[in-house]
Amino acid sequence: MKFKEEIDKRRTFGIISHPDAGKTTLTEKLLLFGGAIQVAGAVKSNKIKKTATSDFMEIEKQRGISVATSVMGFEYRNLKVNILDTPGHKDFAEDTYRTLTAVDSVIVVIDVAKGVEEQTEKLVNVCKMRKTPIIVFINKLDREGKDAFDLLDEIELKLGLTVCPMSWPIGMGYDFQGVYSMYEKKLVLFKPHGKQAEEGVVEFNNLYDPALEKYVGERAAKKLREETTMVEEVYPSFDREYYVNSEISPVFFGSAINNFGVRELLDCFVEIAPSPMPRVTEERPIDPNEEQFSGFVFKIHANMDPKHRDRIAFLRVCSGKFERNRNYLHVRQNRKMKFANPTSFMASKKEVIEDAYPGDVVGLYDSGNFKIGDTLTEGEMLHFKGIPSFSPEQFRYVNNADPMKQKQLSKGLDQLMDEGVAQLFTKESSQRKIIGTVGPLQFDVIQYRLEHEYGASVTYEPLSLHKACWITCNDTAALKEFLQRRMQDMARDKDGKWVYLATSAWGLKTVQENHPKVVFHFTSEF
């Protein structure tokens, strides 16, 4: 019975948004309400030298953006809540996409003034594709922004979600007085800055109670009554089954920077969000209640603690119970491994754990055995599906700026590429190293981390390429002919596989037509 209870206690979710919508701030405040931290960091403040708990890499603290997924766990109302705070910037989208394979639900943060932005659309599409339940949090109500009904229309139109408002704002910006929780039938009054105290919460089972005017004034009370009546007529009422099946998305309003609306969001979330969901493998579906342990690696991070040069693989437990010092099968390498120091996370703080259950994220110390997508089981050969890999779109030659540090550079490139942030190619004709990424900001992060974590300095040279294409060919003679004719454009990836570097779309099309027996793949997983 205990095993089933432990699974039911888990809530594992991701927070996603366009950059600057307030995602990391919301994460901080959820941790604050969950009692996991005592004081929230000022993410962008230069005056206060605190930084966001979930932004633990030095470059994140300097730039005020998240460039890697952070994992944080805390206990709340006798439940174990695991938050995965993801990067919002599009240049780090692949880290976010992979993280979405490890969560059971998501909270989408939307800026009230900017509405639905490009990156939000892309991320929500990934969630919809996977049928991941979505809650929407409309943030920054203490600032002037779009009308609440206009925002809901925009969310339905651009994101294709069927919204279900669970709270409703009273005013906005200078006139912002609070929100009415339609879920709990409570009026929550806004007090700028400072933890929202219980005295700011008034129960109203009937909005037509004349006492409402005493709290918000006659005009605001009238408007609130009209708008909530319209909401009840226009939008579907909440049904948990519809939410868990991704058919409706609850919407909350608040201001994360002021801790406002966060408690209501968290209280409702832990009540309605799904416990660990089944996962799909190439072989069969995996139910979290199965006794046999299984899990997959969705992220690798080098140097979480620069003092110890450690490298950690993030493993999502999918079924069974993970136990410290027990032998598990590393499916890709087909060998047994055991882990003496598995850890749980509070951003960069780690503690050794004895066991973990479905929904938990475990950190495994890694000396280079793991790749993203690897599976651990008790013996069964399983391969989890849906962990994406990406074709690079930006390319640069990488030059060693300090020949004395060749060893450090090789090690740094090796480990950073394993994290999945970029791909490394070695040009066959010149043996020059090329880095390929999804976005240009990745180059800055790699350069910064090589210098500060490995003591290696690099410079880049621009390189105009259209695509990197992995090739396969069953005909030995056809492959030999292709390599002879195209050797100037050939490279090898980190694993020694052949890669064709296409300079243009037209050139690629021509080469494909001239070599029909050669198959071109746009990701390294084929």
Q: What's the Cα-to-Cα distance from 255 to each of 25, 171, 187, 443, 444, rounded to whole Å?
A: 10, 13, 15, 34, 32
**Measured between alpha carbons, how far is 299 from 166 in angstroms, rounded to an integer?**
34
In the structure encoding, which two tokens stand for residue 8, read together? Answer: 């039911």
Quick count: other Cβ atoms within 10 Å of Cβ 516? 9
The pLDDT value recorded for residue 207 is 83
pLDDT in tens, the chain (526 residues): 588 999 999 999 998 888 888 878 888 888 887 775 544 443 333 333 344 444 444 544 444 444 344 678 888 989 999 888 776 445 455 667 778 888 999 999 999 999 998 888 888 888 888 899 999 999 999 999 999 999 999 999 999 999 999 999 998 888 888 888 888 888 888 876 555 555 567 777 778 888 888 888 899 999 999 999 999 999 999 999 999 999 999 999 999 888 888 888 999 999 999 999 999 899 999 999 999 999 999 888 776 555 555 678 889 999 999 999 999 999 999 999 999 989 887 544 568 889 999 999 998 988 778 888 899 999 999 998 876 666 788 899 999 999 899 999 988 888 788 777 788 999 999 999 999 887 787 788 888 888 888 899 999 999 999 989 999 999 999 999 999 999 999 999 988 899 999 999 999 999 999 999 999 988 766 5
Roughly how many angstroms between the first and final C-alpha of the chain, as a whole number? 42
Q: What is the pLDDT of residue 285?
A: 93
Claim to verify: residue 372 and residue 409 sit in the same structural domain: no
Are 449 and 303 contacting, i.e. CB atoms less than 8 angstroms apart?
yes
The count of domains in the chain is 3
198 and 138 together in one domain: yes
The candidate with the shortest Cα–Cα distance to 509, out of 462, 469, 464, 463, is 469
Residue 386 domain-assigned? Answer: no
Q: What is the pLDDT of residue 501?
A: 94
DSSP 209: -
Q: How far apart are CA 440 and CA 398, in angstroms?
A: 14
Looking only at the bridges linking them, the beta strands covering 10-16 and 79-85 are parallel
Dihedrals φ, ψ of 477, to 5°?
Answer: -65, -40
**Same domain for 39 and 170:** yes
Query: Cα–Cα distance between 169 and 159 in angstroms, integer?
Result: 21
DSSP letter at 278?
P
Question: For position 351, which CATH number holds?
Answer: 3.40.50.300
| 385 in any annotated domain | no
> Contact at 8 Å (CB) between 202 and 187?
yes
**Vertex 411: Cα angle to 487 and 419 (nearest 5):** 85
In this structure, what token pair is assigned to residue 89? Answer: 């910037």
Burial of 478 (0-12, 13-18, 19+ CB in 10 A): middle
> Do 167 and 81 reside in the same domain of the chain?
yes
Are both 291 and 412 inside the same structural domain? no
Task: Tell me the C-alpha distance between 229 and 400, whole Å.
Answer: 66
Residue 443: which CATH number? 3.30.70.3280
The answer on 433 and 483 residing in a single domain is: yes
pTM exceeds cut of 0.85 = no
DSSP codes of every residue in 148-182 = HHHHHHHHHHHH---EEESEEEES-GGG--EEEET
- For the chain, the residue count is 526
Q: Which domain holds residue 144?
A: 2-272
Coil, strand, or helix at residue 449? helix
- Distance CA(202)–CA(205), nearest Å, equals 10
Beta-carbon-side half-sphere exposure of residue 463 (alpha carbons within 13 Å): 28
387 domain residue, yes or no: no
- Say if residue 36 is in the same domain as residue 179: yes
Q: CB of 315 within 8 A of CB of 361? A: yes
Rounded-to-integer distance, Cα 314 and Cα 447, Å: 24
